[in-house]
Structure 1
Amino acid sequence: MKAKEFKLAMVQMLVKGGDKQSNIQHAVELINEASGNGAQVVLLPECMDLGWTHPTSLTEAEEIPDGSVCQALMQAAKENSVYVCSGLTEKDGETIYNAAVIIDKNGNVLCKQR
């Protein structure tokens, strides 16, 4: 049986510590670009939303999948019909996690890992 081939984009982006909106916008632009170049899977950096070591990760981390960052990534995955894997800072109750999500091409979160 022949292995299935696919095109994967490993995205390198400067994460601006604490600048969630700028990071979301940049990530969506890069997902669009990768998709336009034929990628079927797009990998984004660890904690691309706030930066793990930035102090705002303690105050602005969001729930997955309901937070604005995850929702924006879900929408970009759906609009581009690509899988997206991204690192995010996650808030669950009073605890903050360095998490990763995999989003399918329909915009659904398939899994989350902390």
Structure 2
Amino acid sequence: MKVVLIPMRVEVGNFKANWNEFKKRFNEALEYEPDFVVFPEYCLTGFEEWDFRGAKLYDEIVGRVSELARENGVYVVFGLLEPYKNCVYNSALLIGRNGEVLLKHRKFQEPMKFCTGNTVRTTKTEFGKVAIIICGDLYNKRIAKWVRRKRPDYLFVPMEYSPEYGEMTSENVEAMSERVKLLGVRTFVVNSFPPGGAWAFNENGTLLASSRGERLLVVG
């Protein structure tokens, strides 16, 4: 199984620029003949408190990404804002090789004004069972319980670690490692740029590979 993690540059509120960047980075990833291409949290709209206008693009975004996945026969993991009744979820999807939505995760670890998820789901692929969580979910005790119960083979974590905090420090990466060790699943994390970065851990929390800034991380 080959995974390409893409720390994509994201402009808040600029769907056109983000879509062009998404396609550009997606095509870069295809050069490595990946099985999975993984993008960050709400990567096509960005997000600022409490501007949820990007949720209106949900159907268009799903349609466009599904077409790319189907045309190129790859799995795609990415985050987006999902409208629901009178509120919005911070969600992430796994799109299958045929363009079908195989898995949706709704983020637990969110402040007021978001709807929040209440479980972790898995789906089967030819490589094993897959799950998705989002950013701060990695540190949520309820999430940890669900992940351990569902026992996926692989976990994908789209992230948006604020550029205000600068690059991930060694302490930040060590904290991620400890959480992955607790979950006991091979885990792939990718952050939006800036500050960017991507990390791959084995089920024991050992860091297998990482990248800085916008650089792709190819694992497999």
User: SS state of the match for residue 25, structure 2?
Assistant: helix
| 1:50-61 correspondence runs (5 A) | 50-53=45-48, 55-56=50-51, 58-61=52-55
Structure with greater contact order relative to length (CA < 8 Å, sep ≥ 6): 1
Which structure has the larger Rg over C-alpha atoms?
A: 2
Q: How does 1:31-42 map to 2 (within 5 A)?
A: 31-42=26-37
Name the counterpart of 1:27.
Answer: 22
Residue ranges of structure 2 left out of the alignment (5+ in a row)? 107-220
Note the C-alpha offset of 1:83.
Answer: 0.2
- Residue 54 (structure 2) pairs with residue 69 (structure 1): no
- What is residue 44 of structure 2 aligned with on the other side? 49
Give the counterpart letter for 2:2 in structure 1: K
Alpha carbons of structure 1 residues 51 and 71: separation in structure 2 relative to 1, 3 Å: same
Corresponding position of 1:3: none
Q: In the TM superposition, what whole-angstrom CA distance separates every residue of 1:37-72 from its partner, at most 9, and x where no partner exists?
A: 21110000001021132654x1231375xx111111
Q: Tell me the distance in 1 between the aligned counterparts of 2:17 and 2:31.
A: 21
Structure 1 stretches of 4+ moved >3 Å: none
The size of the alignment, in residue pairs, is 106
Structure 2 residue 72 is the aligned partner of structure 1 residue 80: yes
Contact 1:49 1:89 (C-alpha < 8 Å) held by counterparts: no
Q: After alignment, is 35-44 or 22-31 more displaced?
A: 22-31
Q: Scaled by the length of structure 2, what TM-score is found?
A: 0.45
Match of 1:15 in 2: 10
Unpaired segments ≥5 residues, structure 1:
1-5
Among all aligned residue pairs of Structure 1 and Structure 2, give the percentage whose two residues are the same amino acid.
30
* Aligned residues of 2:19 and 2:44 also touching (Cα < 8 A): yes
Distance, in Å, in 2 between the alignment partners of 1:62 and 1:105 is 25
Change (3 A) 1:79 1:54: farther
The one-letter code matched in structure 2 to 1:38 is E
Separation in 2, partners of 1:71, 1:84:
12
State the shift of 1:82 in Å. Answer: 0.5
Amino acid at match of 1:14: R
2:122 corresponding residue in structure 1: none
Residue identity matched to 1:7: K
CA distance in 2, matches of 1:69, 1:96: 15
Deviation at 1:101, TM superposition (A): 0.2
| 27-36 vs 99-108, which moves further | 27-36
SS of alignment partner, residue 61 of structure 1: helix
